[in-house]
Amino acid sequence: MLLEFRTRNYKSFASELCFSMTPASKQKALAYSILSMRGGSKTYKGLCSAVIYGPNASGKTNLIGAMETFRAIVLRGNIRNADVTSVSTAACSLELVPNCNGKAEPTEFLIRFADNGIMTEYSVKADLGPFMSKNYHRKILEERLVVNEKLVFLRNDTLTVELPAAVRTHLNRGLKRKTPEMQEIAAGSLEDTELFLCNGYKSIFSKALTGKILSWFSNKFVVISHAEELRMARRLAGLKAHAVCTEKTLTEAA
């Protein structure tokens, strides 16, 4: 269940953009469309749907593109360009991401979601250079993971890793506590362009927790940029025992 998505310095959004799926506290009329999910000792609520509207060139497509770009970065585990093709070119060629103001300002992404009894907040701040700087030395400036509102790790000039109760059942086999040696190894595993979540944290601390987060990004945070990408299937009951399945794109179905 998506709760919130934020980005800054993404294409037309030079300042922070916040897309929230959290209903207003006094909202009563839409109670039938509000989802609830536990995350630790708290219950989180989210709208089951939302509509984005506005005039041409107001940023609607860029919001969807920012989600797709962050999803692509997380799933490949780095801020390097990808060889695969995508509807959102910026998801593969990150030099297209920064706002074209000529400044090398950080690009930021933050997402909050609840899934399988865990509320996760994950954010990345990266220096991608000015717009269209293909040979710029990119660097992750900050990376932060919070589970059930407890800090799991914070990476900036230093690396801090915590083992709150919410993650202890997901720790790698044999890992009982954090030691200075382990912290030193984790800090030494950092690469400027690689996410700690998908590399050092996964291999040293919790493969299971990283797997749950990546599974949500892969299977539940589905970003569809164009209607022709969404395929719809309808089963038609025939006279025979086997059902017939017809498949069309959303555009064709309409």
**Cα 122 to Cα 154: distance, rounded to the nearest angstrom:** 10
Task: Report pTM.
Answer: 0.87
Cα–Cα nearest to 139, from 101, 94, 198: 94
Helix/strand/coil for 212: helix
Helix/strand/coil for 111: strand
pLDDT in tens, the chain (254 residues): 999 999 999 999 999 999 999 888 776 777 777 888 877 778 888 888 888 888 988 889 999 999 999 999 999 999 999 987 666 899 999 999 999 887 889 999 999 999 988 999 999 999 999 999 988 999 999 999 999 999 999 999 999 999 999 999 999 998 888 888 888 999 999 999 999 999 999 999 999 999 999 999 999 999 887 665 555 455 555 545 555 555 555 556 55
What per-residue confidence (pLDDT) applies to 227? 63
Cα–Cα nearest to 205, from 174, 154, 181, 171: 171
E strands within the chain? 2-8, 17-20, 34-39, 42-47, 107-115, 118-127, 139-147, 150-155, 159-161, 231-236, 244-249
Angle among Cα 95, 96, 99 to the nearest 5 degrees reads 105
What per-residue confidence (pLDDT) applies to 228? 59
- Joined together, the tokens standing for residue 228 give 């022709």
Owner of token pair 């469309």: 33
Helix/strand/coil for 126: strand
Domain segments of the chain: what residues?
2-223, 227-254
**Cα 133 to Cα 225: distance, rounded to the nearest angstrom:** 25
